[in-house]
Structure 1
C-alpha cells in the first residue's frame, strides 16, 4: 500500500511539474512576443528621430497652423452656412519652453509616442500570434480578422482625433480668455500632452466594435440589450462629445458625436452576428446529439 501511495504521489508531483513547465513555457513565449514588439516600436522611434523635422513641423505642430486641414474645411463650411464665426483664421496663444531640458525630453517623448502609434498594428499582430494557438479551429477562423479590424479602427480613430477633435479643442482653448489682460502662453509639454491625449483617446474609443465583439463572444452583451439601451447610449455619447470638445458650438459637438453613433450601431450589428453564430453552433450540437 505504501508503495502504491508513493507511486501516486510521484505521479501527482509530475503532473504539477508539467503544469508549471507549461505555464513557464507560455510566459517564455509571451516574453519573446513582447520583445519583438518592443524592437519594432524602437525601430519606428528611431525613424521618428531621423525624420523629426518633418514630424515636428508638419505633424505635431500642425494643429497650431491656420492652414491646417480642419481649419480650411471649417472656413469652407462657414462660407456655405454663412456663419463666419466658424472660420478659424489664426490660432491664438504662444507655446514656450520653461525647462532647461524641456525641448530635449519633448523630442524623446514625441518620438516614442510616434513609434508606439506606428508600431501598434505589429503589437496587435504579436498578441494575436500568442493567443491563436489556444483557440479552437472554429474560434480562430471567427477571430481571424481581429488584427485587421482592430488596426483599421485604431487608425480611423487616430485620424479623426488628430484632424478634427485636437485642432477644434486647441483653437478654442488657445483663444479662450477670462480677461484681456491675461496672455495665453502654453508650455510645449502641455501642448504635446493635449494633442497626444485627444488623439490616442479617440483611437481607443474607436475600438468599441471590437470590445462589443469580445463581450458578445463571452456572453456578457447581446444585441437586444444594446438596442434597448440605445436611448441611454445617445445621452452618454452626447455627454462624451461635449466633454471632448470644450467649444460651446453645437455643430462641433454634432460632428464629434456622429461617428460615435455610427460605432454604436456597428456594435449592434457585430453583436447580432456573434449571436447568430452561437445559435448555429447550438443547433448543430443539438442535431449531432440527436
Structure 2
C-alpha cells in the first residue's frame, strides 16, 4: 500500500509529480494501522459520550416519524407512545441512540483516518484528492442517513403499522425493537450512499471503468433492487423503489466519476 506498486492509478514512478513517498515496512504498516484504529475508536467513544447526554433529545427527534403514523389512528391506537417491555429497555435504547449518533458525529474523523492510512502509499499528485474525497465521503454518509430518516423510514413505518391496523391488530411497539430497526436503516442507507466514493478508488486503481459499469448496467439494476429489498424488508415494490431510485442515481454518478478519474491510455 505504501509503495509505487500499490499506489492508486497507473503510471511511471519517475514521471514528474508522481514520485511515491518512502516505503514503509510491514511493522510500520501495522503501527500506523493501530494508531488510526485507536484514533477512530477513541473518536467514536468521545462522540458517543457527548450524544449520551443528548440521547433524550435525539430520541424525541428520531421517534417523530413513528409518532406521526400512530397519531393518524386515534381510534385504533389511543396511546402513541412506545412501550418498554423490560426493566433495562429504556437504558438500552438510549445506549443504542448514543452509539449510533456518535458514529455519525465522528464520521468526518473516521473517514479522514481511513484516507490518512492509505495516504503514505499514494503518489504526490494523488494526494491532492485528499480533501475533496474526505468531504465527499462525509457528505454522502450524512446524506444517506438523512435519506433513511426523512424518506425511507417514515414510508416503512407507515406500511407496517397500517398493515397491522388494517388487520384489526393493536400495535404495541417495543422501543428497543423499533430503534434497532430505525438505526439499522440509517446506517444501511449511509453505507449505500458511499458508492460513488468506492467507485472513485476502484476507478483510480484501474479495477473499474466507466465502460464496464455501462455494460453491466442491467445487472446493476437487478443488484440494486435486491439490495433495496434487503434494506427495506417490505413486500411492496413502491417502498423498495424509493431506495432503489437514489441508488440508481448514485450508480449513474459513479459512471461519471469513473470516466473522469480512470487512468487514460497513453
TM-score bracket relative to the smaller structure: 0.7 to 0.9
1:191 correspondence with 2:174:
no
Question: How far apart are 1:190 and its partner, in Å?
Answer: 1.1
Q: 1:174 to 1:94 in 2, by over 3 A?
A: farther
For residues 208 and 134 of structure 2, what CA distance do their matches in structure 1 show? 21
Conservation of the 8 A alpha-carbon contact between 1:175 and 1:184:
no
Conservation of the 8 A alpha-carbon contact between 2:225 and 2:240:
yes
Match of 1:100 among 87, 90, 96: 87
3-state SS of 1:96 partner: coil
Q: 1:90 to 1:249 in 2, by over 3 A?
A: farther
For residues 227 and 73 of structure 2, what CA distance do their matches in structure 1 show? 27
Conservation of the 8 A alpha-carbon contact between 1:212 and 1:271:
yes
Q: Please identify which structure carries the higher helix content.
A: 1
Match of 1:137 among 103, 120, 124: 124
1:45 equivalent in structure 2: 48
Question: How far apart are 1:31 and its partner, in Å?
Answer: 2.1
Q: 1:151 to 1:174 in 2, by over 3 A?
A: same
1:75 equivalent in structure 2: none
3-state SS of 2:173 partner: strand
2:68 equivalent in structure 1: 66
Q: Structure 2, unaligned stretches of length 5 or more?
A: 1-23
TM-score, normalised to structure 2, is: 0.79
Q: 1:198 to 1:55 in 2, by over 3 A?
A: same
Question: How far apart are 1:178 and its partner, in Å?
Answer: 8.6
For residues 242 and 52 of structure 1, what CA distance do their matches in structure 2 show? 30
2:189 equivalent in structure 1: 202
Match of 2:214 among 200, 217, 227: 227
For residues 135 and 149 of structure 1, what CA distance do their matches in structure 2 show? 19
The structure whose Rg is larger is 1
2:38 equivalent in structure 1: 35
Conservation of the 8 A alpha-carbon contact between 1:169 and 1:246:
yes
TM-score, normalised to structure 1, is: 0.73
3-state SS of 2:150 partner: helix
Conservation of the 8 A alpha-carbon contact between 1:125 and 1:147:
yes
Match of 1:266 among 247, 253, 258: 253
For residues 158 and 222 of structure 2, what CA distance do their matches in structure 1 show? 26
Q: Structure 1, unaligned stretches of length 5 or more?
A: 1-20, 69-87, 284-290
